[in-house]
A and B are shown apart, each in its own frame.
Chain A
Amino acid sequence: KQEVTQIPAALSVPEGENLVLNCSFTDSAIYNLQWFRQDPGKGLTSLLLIQSSQREQTSGRLNASLDKSSGRSTLYIAASQPGDSATYLCAVSHGSGNTGKLIFGQGTTLQVKP
């Protein structure tokens, strides 16, 4: 059974700091991995999608890496800003059955202090 774990559960950093969020999954048979952002009481915003054949994806100040064999992904946020404060969710599209359903981690709640 696929399980996704995110560490740390919460993180507080001063503005301007670079930071790394971690995601691990137990079954390497995935099709892709997606990072999302969720603001309190809001929906999910897709940040980056990494296909299983890819090693990383970049969008602006965000960089996500994927090491499928070791079951790990990291989300790197450069020069953090208070507006980055949110919960970050990692989700894998599990390979079994090929339905594309996402299995989510519990999230990392980030607070960036001005």
Chain B
Amino acid sequence: NAGVMQNPRHLVRRRGQEARLRCSPVKGHSHVYWYRQLPEEGLKFMVYLQKENIIDESGMPKERFSAEFPKEGPSILRIQQVVRGDSAAYFCASSPITVNEQFFGPGTRLTVL
């Protein structure tokens, strides 16, 4: 009866490298949300995915960021050519249906050197 799992929990990258953040939703949940928490700021929505589909990416930066939720396997948030401003905690949440209670993972804390 595992909850939302995210890995890695901590990730350190140098400027210009790629960061890959993984999220495994609660078993049976087909809706995944990604949020970002910048230092000293609140949580901001990034993207909402269902299996194999991006439903709402209105919160995603236009460049360098992408997300996927394949038919098999975890959801991936990918950040290319990271910059120091990408340093933040990235949280994944899942729900069984749209507009329902969301369950959050422990987050991945990304540090860009």
Which residues from chain A sit less than 8 Å from chain B, CB to CB?
31-32, 34, 36, 41-46, 49, 89, 91, 93, 97-107
Contact = CB atoms under 8 A, between A and B. Distances in A.
A93 B98 CA distance: 10
A31 B95 CA distance: 14
Contact of B42 (A42, A45, A107): A107
Interface stretch (B14-22, B67-75, B77-85, B100-108): B100-108
Contacts of B104: 36, 43-46
Contact of A98 (B31, B44, B95, B98): B98
B101 A49 contact: yes
A98 B104 CA distance: 20
Contacts of B56: 97, 99, 101
A43 B106 CA distance: 4
Interface in B14-71: 31, 33, 35, 41-45, 48, 55-56, 58-59
Given A97-B56, A99-B55, A102-B35, A46 B42 contact: no
Interface of B: 31, 33, 35, 41-45, 48, 55-56, 58-59, 91, 93, 95, 98-107, 109
B91 A44 contact: yes
19 contacts: A32-B100, A43-B91, A44-B43, A44-B104, A99-B56, A100-B33, A100-B100, A100-B102, A101-B45, A101-B48, A101-B56, A102-B33, A102-B35, A102-B43, A102-B93, A103-B45, A104-B35, A104-B44, A106-B42
Interface SS of B by simple majority: strand
Contacts of A46: 101-104
B59 A101 contact: yes
Contacts of B93: 44, 102
B45 A102 contact: yes
Contacts of A45: 104
Given A102-B35, A102-B45, 20 more contacts: A31-B99, A32-B99, A34-B102, A36-B104, A42-B106, A43-B91, A43-B104, A44-B43, A44-B91, A44-B93, A44-B104, A46-B102, A99-B98, A99-B99, A100-B33, A100-B98, A101-B59, A102-B43, A103-B45, A105-B42
